[in-house]
């Protein structure tokens, strides 16, 4: 996490905008401050070789997990604008490794002293858990939560620390970053949930998620929590659609998706996964039982209504950005 002595440098515009970490401007040798100053920032801190750059490359650059083995150590602060649509629209800072677990507490105390903790969200990713058994994962989660919370309460700091087990070798890192991203749109989240529920209930769907197709991070889900296996099923479906599109898309097409993109996969257990492209890199993924398909017309009607609702939301909240 970034701490600076000069509180006055925090741009006023941030106070109006939800964000993960709210920080003063950082050195910008490339002269790109105009972009990075006005967008929410996500700062990645961690030990050297803990996997920070890998997370950034796998989620935002589609690098395969195996390729991350060849990444070189970050020697200076790197930042990039990762705008993918109206909702995935922030800057990620990748710090050269320097912070150990015990420094989390020190850093949070520093932020608390500056009264910055009210404006930031802190997530702890317990990364590279692919090498651990389920028992070891549970133990690590409990242990780290306990140690950090214990020391924080000793320091008199009340913070809702969110701890997640992650790896670039499965979808856990995408799921974790989905949750981080949702913190950037708290006022829109309830609108999206309402729209997703309005689609889900009359159609008898089990789960409905709105995905950013470029990152496989979800923007919103219906109000029921999404178990990890269902989230993984949705990601597999997005991968499948992308792979098939990749084979059959003509070279003059710029995107795998257009307004007509619709796909369905029927599983042996009676589950159907539907995807429907909405706009702005956003795709709806619906999980339902195949018996619901008897009312396909109703489903199509409600999806069209959902699209219209999304269009209205996008137009009113992001007037400066054209809806594709």
Binding-site ranges for ligand GTP (CB under 6 A): 46, 48-54, 68-69, 71, 73-74, 96-97, 127-128, 130-131, 167-169
- CA 250 to each of CA 244, 276, 306: distance values in angstroms, whole numbers, following the listed order: 12, 20, 29
Measured from the CB of residue 315, what is the shortest distance to ligand GTP in angstroms?
Answer: 39
- Complex with ligand GTP: residue 97 or 309, whichever CB lies closer: 97
Question: Least distance (Å) from ligand GTP to the CB of residue 46?
Answer: 5
- Ordered strands of the 41-44 beta sheet: 41-44, 91-94, 78-81
Alpha helix ranges (H) inside the chain:
33-36, 52-61, 101-113, 134-154, 172-182, 186-203, 228-248, 296-317
Task: Give the nearest residue (CB) to ligand GTP.
Answer: 97
Residues 6+ apart with CB under 8 A from 164: 123, 124, 125, 126, 172, 175, 176, 179
**Minimum distance of ligand GTP from residue 43's CB (angstroms):** 13
Closest approach of ligand GTP to the CB of residue 71, in Å? 4
Q: Which of 27, 72 has the CB closer to ligand GTP?
A: 72
- Cα–Cα distances in angstroms (integers) from residue 218 to residues 42, 267, 281, 308, in the given order: 17, 22, 11, 19
Q: Least CB distance from residue 87 to ligand GTP, whole Å?
A: 25
Specify whether the CB–CB gap between 19 and 10 falls below 8 A.
Answer: no
Q: Which is nearer to ligand GTP, 74 or 163 (CB)?
A: 74
Do the Cβ atoms of 99 and 136 come closer than 8 Å? no
∠ CA 44-48-104, rounded to 5°? 55
Tell me whether residue 51 or residue 309 sits nearer to ligand GTP (CB atom).
51
Nearest to 210 by CA among 257, 156, 276: 276
Nearer to ligand GTP, 73 or 160 (CB): 73
* Cβ 126 to ligand GTP shortest distance, Å: 10
Min CB(93)–ligand GTP separation in Å: 12
- Closer to ligand GTP by Cβ: residue 24 or 97: 97
Q: How many Å apart are CA 309 and CA 315, to the nearest integer?
A: 10
Nearest CB to ligand GTP, comparing residues 77 and 161? 77
Strand-pairing partners, residue 277, are 283
b/e burial code for range 200-234 (CB count within 10 A of at least 16 → b): beebebebbbbbbbbbbbbbbbbeeebeeebbbbb
Residue number with CB closer to ligand GTP (74 or 263): 74
- Tell me the closest approach of the beta carbon of residue 254 to ligand GTP, in angstroms: 30
């Amino acid at each position: 996490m970034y701490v600076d002595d000069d509180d006055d440098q925090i741009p006023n515009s941030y106070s109006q905008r939800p964000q993960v970490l709210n920080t003063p401007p950082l050195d910008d040798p490339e002269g790109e401050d105009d972009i990075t100053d006005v967008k929410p920032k996500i700062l990645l801190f961690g030990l050297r070789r803990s996997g920070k750059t890998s997370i950034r490359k796998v989620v935002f650059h589609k690098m395969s997990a195996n390729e991350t083995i060849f990444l070189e150590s970050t020697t200076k602060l790197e930042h990039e604008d990762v705008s993918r649509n109206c909702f995935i629209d922030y800057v990620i800072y990748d710090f050269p490794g320097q912070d150990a677990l015990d420094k989390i507490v020190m850093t949070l105390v520093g932020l608390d002293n500056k009264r910055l903790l009210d404006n930031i969200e802190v997530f702890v990713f317990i990364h590279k858990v692919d090498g651990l058994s389920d028992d070891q994962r549970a133990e690590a989660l409990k242990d780290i939560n306990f140690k950090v919370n214990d020391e924080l309460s000793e320091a008199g700091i009340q913070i809702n620390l969110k701890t997640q087990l992650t790896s670039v070798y499965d979808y856990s890192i995408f799921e974790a970053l989905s949750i981080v991203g949702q913190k950037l749109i708290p006022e829109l989240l309830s609108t999206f949930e309402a729209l997703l529920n309005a689609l889900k209930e009359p159609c008898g769907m089990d789960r409905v998620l709105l995905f950013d197709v470029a990152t496989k991070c979800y923007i919103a889900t219906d109000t029921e929590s999404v178990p990890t296996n269902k989230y993984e099923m949705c990601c597999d479906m997005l991968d499948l659609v992308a792979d098939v599109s990749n084979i059959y898309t003509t070279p003059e097409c710029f995107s795998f998706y257009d307004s007509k993109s619709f796909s369905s996969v029927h599983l042996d257990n009676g589950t159907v996964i539907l995807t429907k492209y909405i706009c702005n890199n956003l795709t709806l993924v619906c999980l339902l039982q195949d018996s619901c398909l008897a009312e396909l017309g109703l489903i199509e009607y409600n999806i069209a209504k959902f699209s219209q609702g999304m269009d209205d939301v996008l137009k009113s909240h992001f007037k400066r950005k054209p809806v594709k």
